Amino acid sequence: MANPGIPLTRDEALRRVDAFLPSAAGAYARLRNKDKGRGGHVHVSQLSAALRRRLVSEEEVVNALLARYGLVPAE
């Protein structure tokens, strides 16, 4: 992800969702628990702060994943 900062607006959070989608299916499942050091977390969504602050909902993220990949690859 290009901007590792905390998204402060809904628009920033939605851009973060869109940026995460291309690597969400395969790379996320394989690499999410690998620590590559500061700035190296390109295989995780970094959406926790936006979700916690309700800038985007879990449902919106899941729906975006399902729309892009369908059910089986998204699992």
2 located within any domain:
no
State residue 29's pLDDT score.
66
Domain count for the chain:
1
State residue 46's pLDDT score.
80
3 located within any domain:
no
Its pTM stands at 0.70
4 located within any domain:
no
Q: How far apart are CA 47 and CA 14, in angstroms?
A: 9
Q: How far apart are CA 62 and CA 75, in angstroms?
A: 10
The pLDDT tens digits along the chain (75 residues) read 445 578 889 999 999 999 888 877 666 667 666 666 776 666 677 888 999 999 999 999 989 988 988 886 555
42 located within any domain:
yes
34 located within any domain:
yes
- How far does CA 8 lie from the centroid of its chain? 15
Range of the domain at 62: 10-74
